[in-house]
Amino acid sequence: MRMLLRRLSLYVVTAWVAITANFILPRLMPGNPVETLIGQLQGRVSPQQVRAIQLAFGMGLKQNIVQQYFGYLGQLMHGHLGVSITLSAPVSSILRSAVPWTVGLIGVSTILSFLVGTIAGTMLGWTRGSRFDSLIPLTTFFQAVPYFFLGTVMLLIFGSNLHWFPVLGAYSSNLNPGWSWAFVFSLIRYGELPVLTIVLSSVAGWMLGMRNMMITMVAEDFVLMAVAKGLPRRKVIMHAARNAVLPSVANLSLAIGLVVSGALLVELVFNYPGVGNLLLQAVLNEDYPLIQGIFLVITMTVLAANLLADVMYFVLDPRTRTEAAV
C-alpha cells in the first residue's frame, strides 16, 4: 500500500509539472499571443472574443505572473479551460462532445485488438511450431503497412467499391444522435471499418508479445507441475497465460493512455468527429485555447493510464508488492 501511495504522489507532481508547462509555454512564445490572435482574426473579432482570448491567457486583468498562474490553476480546478476562438464555445464543452467519439472508436479498437491478439498469442505460444504460426507473417504485414494507408485502401475496396460498409462519418446522417436502436445500430455499422482497420494494424503487436511470453512460460517448471497435477489442458494453459499476460497488461494500460490523442489519421480517413479531427482543426486555425485544452486532456489521460498500469500490475503480480511487504 505504501508503495502505491508513493507512486500516487509521484503522479500528482507530474500532473502539476504538466499543467505548469501548459501555462508557461504560450507565454514563452515571441510577442503577445493575444495580439497575434486578434491580428489573425483581422478585425472580425467581437469584444467578447477579445475578452475570451485575454482570459484564456490570463491577461488583461492587470495581474502579475504569479497571480495569473494561480488564477489559471483556480480556473482549471473548476473545469474551466477557456473559450475556443474559432468555435466561440467553451473548450470544455467542445472536448466533452469530441472525446466520447474518440474514446469509443479507439477504445473499442484497442481493447478488441488486445483481446484478439492475446488469445491468439496464447494459442500460438502453446502450439508453437504448428501450422498456425503462418498467422504471424500475415499479421505483421498489416502492422507494417501504415494504418492510414490501410484505412484508405479498405475504404476504397470495401466501402466505395463493394459497398459492404458505410463510409464517412460516425453514424448515418439521416439519424439524430440519441439512445435509439437505429442510432446505435448505425453507430456500430459506421464503426466497423475504422475499428477493423485499427485492429488489423495493431493486433500483431499483442499477438507476438503474448506468443513470445507464452513460449518462455511453457518451459517453466510450474507449467510442468500443472501437467503433473493432472489438470485439464485448459487449466494448464491458464497457468502459463496468467503469467505471460503481465507485460501485455502493462502495455494495454499505456495504449489506453493514447486513446484520446488517438489515431488522428484514422479519424481523418474515416471523417470521424473525434479529438484527432478537432486537434487538426485547432492547429490549422491556431486556436490556442483549444490546443491547450486538448493537450491538457491528453496529458492527463496518459498520466491516468500510467497510474492504471501501475495499479493493474500491483494487483496482478504479487511480486511487485514485496517492497511494501518487507
Partner 1 sequence: MSTSSAPRALRQSASSNDEVSIAPAALESSDLVLEVKDFSVDYGWGERAVRAVRNVDLDVHRSQVLGIAGESGSGKSTLVYAVTRLLRSPAVISGGDARLFLDADKNTGSDVRTVDLMRASERELRSIRWSQISIVLQSALNALNPVLRISAEFDEVLKTHRRDMNRHQRRARAVELLELVGLNEDRLARFPHELSGGQRQRIMIALALALDPQLVIMDEPTTALDVVTQREIISELRDLRARFGFAMVFITHDLALLVEIADEIAVMYAGTIVERAPAASLHDAPRHPYTLGLLNSSPPLHGKHHELVGIPGSPPDLAQSLVGCSFRARCPFALERCASETPPLVAIEDGGRMVACWLHDGSATNLPEALRREVSLSKRAAPQPRATKEVGS
Q: Which residues bind partner 1 (CB under 8 A)?
A: 220-222, 224-232, 235, 239, 242-243, 246, 316-319, 322, 325
CB of 238 to partner 1, least distance (A): 10
> Are the CB atoms for 85 and 40 separated by under 8 Å?
no
| 103 or 244: CB nearest partner 1 | 244
DSSP state of 162: T
Q: Which of 280, 253, 160, 145 is CA-nearest to residue 200? A: 145
* Residue 17 backbone phi and psi in degrees, to 5: -60, -40
| 189 or 235: CB nearest partner 1 | 235
> Are the CB atoms for 26 and 33 separated by under 8 Å?
yes
CB of 318 to partner 1, least distance (A): 4
| 31 or 230: CB nearest partner 1 | 230
| 139 or 243: CB nearest partner 1 | 243
Q: How many CB atoms lie within 10 A of CB 226?
A: 19
> Are the CB atoms for 91 and 81 separated by under 8 Å?
yes
| 119 or 316: CB nearest partner 1 | 316
**Residues 87/88/93/98 CA torsion (nearest 10 deg):** 0
Grid coordinates in use for 321?
A: 508488492
CB of 230 to partner 1, least distance (A): 3
* Residue 83 backbone phi and psi in degrees, to 5: -120, 135
| 252 or 260: CB nearest partner 1 | 252
| 64 or 322: CB nearest partner 1 | 322
| 168 or 224: CB nearest partner 1 | 224
CB of 244 to partner 1, least distance (A): 11
CB of 229 to partner 1, least distance (A): 5
> Are the CB atoms for 147 and 263 separated by under 8 Å?
yes
CB of 270 to partner 1, least distance (A): 40
3-state SS assignment for residue 176: coil
> Are the CB atoms for 168 and 273 separated by under 8 Å?
no
CB of 218 to partner 1, least distance (A): 9
> Are the CB atoms for 277 and 260 separated by under 8 Å?
no
Task: Count CA within 13 A, CB hemisphere, residue 265.
Answer: 9
CB of 234 to partner 1, least distance (A): 12
